[in-house]
Amino acid sequence: MDRAERVAIAKRILEFNDRDIDEMGDISWETDIGRFTDKARFELEKQEFFLKRPQLIAYTADFPEPGDYYATEIVSKPILLVRGKDGKAKAFLNACRHRGVKLAEGCGNSKGFSCPYHGWTYGNDGALLSVPSRAAFEPEQLAERGLIELPLAEKHGVVLVHPQPSGMVDWDEFFGPEMGGIIADYDLEDFRLVGEYRAPARINWKHAVDGGLEGYHVPYLHPTTVGPGTLRQFMHLDFGLHQTLVSPMKQILDLKNIPEEEWPETLPYGFTNAIFPNTVVGGSKHIMFFQRSEPGAEPGTCTYIFRTYGPHKGATEETRAMAQYMTDLLMKTALEEDMTIQSSAQIQMEAGAVPSIVLGKREVNLIRMHQNHDRLIGHDVAAALNKSGEFAEAAE
Ligand code: FES
Ligand SMILES: [Fe+2]
């Protein structure tokens, strides 16, 4: 995004602030809760949104050096990301080709991988290197037993993987020019991991994305964390399947007293980018974050992944302290505030207490995202709401 576009966003925020109004979409929307609770829809989403499309599953910073590896997942498919001696990233299914055991957990640096079950070993390039008692197998049975490689594209510090070996990944096509430009501007190659969280969560995966798409909740849910520093004039950018929420910091008001030519290079607002289907990335030159909510076994469960990264090249004690401070703040906000409240919504929905939800014009990015979902799977909201009308009568 060029300077003129960034300045235009700041001016729009200031104009809305002057007029004491919020940015709003054209429509508000009542919609069904099956998108959070219906098992058949949930399974369809896994297939259509996750297993047939490339996914943003890591930053370069998750395995930056030759020999580094990082074990993660797409839905429940275990993925092993490895950086070879040549610095090139590869993705494999994280499963031994003998009888399927997972080869690596977490992250680290290694010349290869050894299966804990019967000791088969693999190189960083996925090749099967050694098999104890090799004579127990016919040679042709071992000829094609390297790790199964998945298509991967890495650029501007961001790693995309397709969960099918026969899939296609095109980085530029995935992001499109505008979102690709926003990602490039972060200089993510220069960051390194600071904080990490990965655990089961009692939410549908979409609640975690919804939380990053609107600022309507910020003063109420985050009154002591990220709320106080944030102005209420959030802006909403639409990039097709991806959306961006612009969160202005209160210092942006200082720009009113400064001629535009003298505005700083980094303007006082941040982007939260929801990357289809479930990755949320954003931050600033001080701290970057990465969030994914991998669908679990049931609609109301997911594995919640939240990671933070600080600047690396030219890092000082001061930048490291800032990255740690921001990590603590973001972890508290995400885990103790956002996720707790999202779980509450999920549990009320499953308890039969919520016939429908209504999204307002300040939740414009949520409306766009959920309508994109419905379009992709041919979901009929009117029919679903009719059904929930019957539900409401039955409950009376
Ligand atoms: S399952 Fe890996 S060596 Fe047997
Ligand atoms: Fe939040």
> Who contacts 183 (Cβ-Cβ below 8 Å, separation ≥6)?
156, 158, 175, 273, 281
Note the pLDDT tens digit of each residue in 160-172.
999 999 999 999 9
Report the nearest-CA residue for atom 3 of ligand 1.
118
What integer best gives the mean pLDDT of the chain?
Answer: 96
Handedness of CA 333, 334, 338, 341 (dihedral sign): negative
Task: Output the CA 69–ligand 2 centroid distance in Å.
Answer: 31
Percent pLDDT > 70 in the chain is 98
Task: Output the CA 86–ligand 1 centroid distance in Å.
Answer: 28
pLDDT at 394 over 60: no
Task: Output the CA 55–ligand 2 centroid distance in Å.
Answer: 23
Instruction: Compute the average pLDDT of residues 357-364.
Output: 98
Q: Single out the residue of 357, 321, 252, 279 nearest to residue 18, CA to CA.
A: 252
Instruction: Compute the average pLDDT of residues 308-312.
Output: 97
Position 392 scores a pLDDT of 54
CA angle 354, 75, 66 (to 5 degrees): 140
pLDDT classification of 387: cutoffs 50, 70, 90: confident
Q: What atom of ligand 1 comes closest to residue 118's alpha carbon?
A: 3
The ligand that comes nearest to the alpha carbon of residue 333 is 2
Report the nearest-CA residue for atom 1 of ligand 1.
99
Mutate which of 92, 103, 120 to test ligand 1's pocket (most atoms within 8 Å of Cβ)? Answer: 120
Task: Output the CA 99–ligand 1 centroid distance in Å.
Answer: 5
Q: What atom of ligand 1 comes closest to residue 101's alpha carbon?
A: 1
Task: Output the CA 114–ligand 1 centroid distance in Å.
Answer: 9
3-state per-residue secondary structure call for 162-218: CCCCCCCCCHHHHHHHHHHHHHHHCCHHHEEEEEEEEEEECCCHHHHHHHHHCCCCH
The ligand that comes nearest to the alpha carbon of residue 221 is 2
pLDDT at 391 over 70: no
* Protein residues whose CB sits closer than 6 Å to any atom of ligand 1: 96, 98-99, 101, 115, 117-120
Q: What atom of ligand 1 comes closest to residue 115's alpha carbon?
A: 2
Note the pLDDT tens digit of each residue in 49-95.
999 999 999 999 999 999 999 999 999 999 999 999 999 999 999 99
Mutate which of 96, 122, 137, 145 to test ligand 1's pocket (most atoms within 8 Å of Cβ)? Answer: 96
Task: Output the CA 136–ligand 1 centroid distance in Å.
Answer: 14
The ligand that comes nearest to the alpha carbon of residue 102 is 1
ipTM value of the model? Answer: 0.98
Q: Please give the single-letter amino acid code of residue 380.
A: D
Note the pLDDT tens digit of each residue in 135-158.
999 999 999 999 999 999 999 999
Task: Output the CA 24–ligand 2 centroid distance in Å.
Answer: 18
